[in-house]
Structure 1
């Protein structure tokens, strides 16, 4: 329990309640304001979610395959539920995660741009290293020449590691994060009374 929000760990699908064919990600609040960042002065539909609520929703959705149908159920006291409560919460959650998805898109573009730039630099550097090795091969043999040649070979190939790492592994976590945000944006958000939990 963090700040009145029920963040009990539920590690397997069997521990989640199912409702109309969808697994429920449940949050119980004492008041609607608990789900929002208390330091954010923006209107309801633009307010930033509380960090604990964001992490809980994100991690819960991330536990399941992207195709698994999920629904977010927010429990509130009856006195906190009005005619527009559900719509207000739905809009606030979608606004928040839309912004997070946008930031992830920007970060993904930046990392791919950096990877392309660094790959170009690394190939030019490798070419220069190989050119110097070729020039050294015209000199008389010796330990110093061999040391320089081997060193340039190693340095040239090591220069490729960072851009290769970006294209092989670096961008996948961002794609996964983006997919989870997209999944959250497609989820139904419902509000129910705590007494009906």
Structure 2
């Protein structure tokens, strides 16, 4: 199945997958809300960023390049600005994911400590003495809360961390991808 997906993409001479981006002018690569900012400080177009992320997910671990086709040739300076803006945009996205992972792990660690504290309290309260019914219910409630906290800690660490880790790697790959530029006339 993966090979059929990869067949949809062109390849470079050294067999890297080519992710094609086509626009009539450079401005189409960026969001419109920030018209005065230089290209290396503007946000990439949301659809373009989403397209690149989807393509890299689709091709998996295959090596790739991003080929940007525009109506006219670009100066080396403008190509460098586009490279810089793409790099900065996806590295910023990567940093947002790193911050998210830190929050996830901090929350998981906090729940782990709370769970162990409640479990310790539960064991201390259990004892062998005969207690009224409401105290037994309270002790069992503390025990259940301890196990729920421990389970939530484990679940956050295992199930929420991995997708974020995957997005960190994905953003890093896109940020460091080689960019190829060509004019529309050279493609025909």
Please say whether Structure 1 and Structure 2 have the same fold, judged by a TM-score greater than 0.5: yes
When the two chains are superposed, the root-mean-square deviation of aligned CA atoms in Å is: 2.1
- Cα deviation for residue 131 of structure 1 reads 2.3
Contact 1:72/1:188 (8 A) holds in 2:
yes
- Cα deviation for residue 125 of structure 1 reads 1.5
- Cα deviation for residue 148 of structure 1 reads 4.8
- Cα deviation for residue 36 of structure 1 reads 0.6
Q: Give the SS at the match of 1:63.
A: helix
Distance 1:34 1:170 in 2: 34
Distance 2:21 2:44 in 1: 13
List, as ranges, runs of 4+ consecutive aligned residues in structure 1 with deviation greater than 4 Å. 142-150
TM-score (norm 1): 0.82
Q: Does 1:179 align with 2:173?
A: no
Equivalent residue, structure 1, for 2:104 = 111
Equivalent residue, structure 1, for 2:70 = 76
Distance 2:9 2:124 in 1: 62
Unaligned runs of 5+ in 2: none
Number of corresponding residues: 182
Distance 2:110 2:37 in 1: 38
Distance 2:40 2:100 in 1: 25
Report matched runs for 1:58-137 at 5 Å: 58-66=53-61, 68-78=62-72, 81-134=74-127, 137=128
Q: Does 1:12 align with 2:16?
A: no
Unaligned runs of 5+ in 1: 1-10
Which is helix-richer, 1 or 2?
2
Equivalent residue, structure 2, for 1:168 = 158
Distance 2:82 2:141 in 1: 60
Distance 2:52 2:103 in 1: 26
